[in-house]
Amino acid sequence: MKGFDDSRLEEGIQLFNAGEFFACHDVLEDLWTDTVCPERSFLQGMIQLAVALHHFEEGNLGGAMRLYRSSCVTLQEYEPVFSGVDVARLLNDVQRCFSELDQPHADYPFHVRLQQQLVPLIHAPQRSGTDDL
């Protein structure tokens, strides 16, 4: 699997890393709509992850969990690296971000909030001299 050669992916990554999850969703969805290759599911997973984080920020915890789980299933197919994204690291960081919410709770976990210090970033694979995207 080669990846995507489209500036919208880079723009989506920049928006994601800036915490602009809904704007990231919009950009990646535009790319997803124009994509016909089998690897378009990678974009779907990235869109789901961005929306999961948006829901988590807004307090829609049920929506956040559903999209978090489905994004992880989809993105696992692209580990360890796809299209310049360190998918393995992203999934590890996302799991840490959602770990408290993903625990069994006796009641709806109203008390769980997105912890900004745990919000994942999208990184390029680690190579000597390579910075994050």
pLDDT at 126 over 80: no
Residue 129 has pLDDT above 50, yes or no: no
- Domain count across the chain: 1
Indicate whether 126 belongs to any domain.
no
Q: 124 in a domain, yes or no?
A: no
Asked, for residue 129, whether it belongs to a domain, the answer is no
Q: Characterize the bridge pairing of strands 85-86 and 81-82.
A: antiparallel
Instruction: Locate 75 and state its tokens.
Output: 């993105």
Q: What is the DSSP string of 79-92?
A: -SEETTEEHHHHHH
pTM as predicted: 0.89
What is the pLDDT confidence band of residue 131, given thresholds at 50, 70 and 90?
very low
DSSP 77: T
pLDDT band at 110 (very low <50, low <70, confident <90, very high): confident
Residue 33 maps to a domain: yes
Domain assignment present for residue 13? The answer is: yes
16-20, 90-94, 112-116: least confident range: 112-116
- Averaged pLDDT, 63-88: 96
In a domain, 65, yes or no: yes
CATH of the domain at 80: 1.10.3450.10
- Is residue 94 domain-resident? yes
Confidence band of 127 (pLDDT split at 50, 70, 90): low
Residues spanned by the domain of 65: 7-103+113-118
Residue 127 included in any domain = no
Helical axes 61-76 vs 87-98, angle rounded to 10°: 160
Distant-in-sequence contacts of 99-105, Cβ < 8 A, 24+ apart: 101/56, 101/61, 101/64, 101/65, 101/68, 102/65, 102/68
